[in-house]
Amino acid sequence: MRFFLEIAYRGTQYHGWQRQPNAETVQQVVEASMSILLNEAVSIMGAGRTDTGVHAKQMYAHFDTNYKFDDASDFVFRMNAMLPKDIVIKKLFQVSDSAHSRFDAIYRTYEYWVYESKNPFLEPFAYRLKSNVDFDIMNQAADLLLHHQDFKCFSKSNTDVSTFECNITKANWKSHNEYSVFTITANRFLRNMVRAVVGTLLEIGQGKHPVTHLQEVLESQDRSSAGFSVPAHGLYLTEVGYPNELIKTHG
């Protein structure tokens, strides 16, 4: 039988989501607790990968087991009692045996948080800007992302992928009282893509480049043409979307 887990975590202390041989990851910690609780070796498959230090407000993962869950809420309670404070299981539900947390996902949404004035409560979870930026200008530039498909210019070098095409359906900045958030939604993302996009937009917002610079970067297909990669601690995976029949029927 196949099950989906809905998970959230603070990524500060972890070397990303995916299991690694010599570093602690979120996947590793969750699998270890589940294996103890179910008294069997458990392997989970996440909806994607988050890099070292990146957070997730919503991550899904699937796993297979013959264990009989009499009460899903009781399993969630016991898992959360075992897991460290920076990882939480939100939900467990059974799906069809063919459901896949990664390949069935139809979109992902990320947020990147920035702030300007010194703030001890935001410092661990958002990037402090070194100078003022123009958010209206950055939104003009971000709109160009919606009309492009190939994002090789924002991909980490030596990435083993078959295509650099992504379909971005949302990309904008919104300012709040003490911080601002960049939200971006796409069917898929390349490694380091969001952090490179944000770094490029910030350089435009700081007046280092005109809005048209982003179009030049996109057409270059060259990572060295794009801006710097912003730090991981301001990045959040906030939503993973699936077809209605998968989540609403089962979840």
Whether 51 is catalytic is yes
CATH architecture of 2-103: 2-Layer Sandwich (3.30)
The domain defined by 107-238 folds into Alpha-Beta Plaits (3.30.70)
Looking only at the bridges linking them, the beta strands covering 55-64 and 2-9 are antiparallel
163-212 tens-digit pLDDT: 999 999 999 999 999 999 999 999 999 999 999 999 999 999 999 999 99
| pLDDT per residue as tens, the chain (251 positions) | 999 999 999 999 999 999 998 899 999 999 999 999 999 999 999 999 999 999 999 999 999 999 999 899 999 999 999 999 999 999 999 999 999 999 999 999 999 999 999 999 999 999 999 899 999 999 999 999 999 999 999 998 767 778 999 999 999 999 999 999 999 999 999 999 999 999 999 999 999 999 999 999 999 999 999 999 999 999 999 999 999 888 755 55
Side chain identity at 140, as an amino acid letter? Q
Asked if the domains 2-103 and 107-238 are classified in one and the same CATH topology, the answer is yes
- DSSP line for 41-94: ----EESS---TT-EEEEEEEEEE-----S-HHHHHHHHHHHS-TTEEEEEEEE
Q: How far apart are CA 79 and CA 155, in angstroms?
A: 36
pLDDT of residue 249: 58
Torsion, CA 84, CA 88, CA 89, CA 90, rounded to 10:
160
pLDDT of residue 231: 97
pLDDT of residue 216: 95
* Annotated domain spans of the chain: 2-103, 107-238
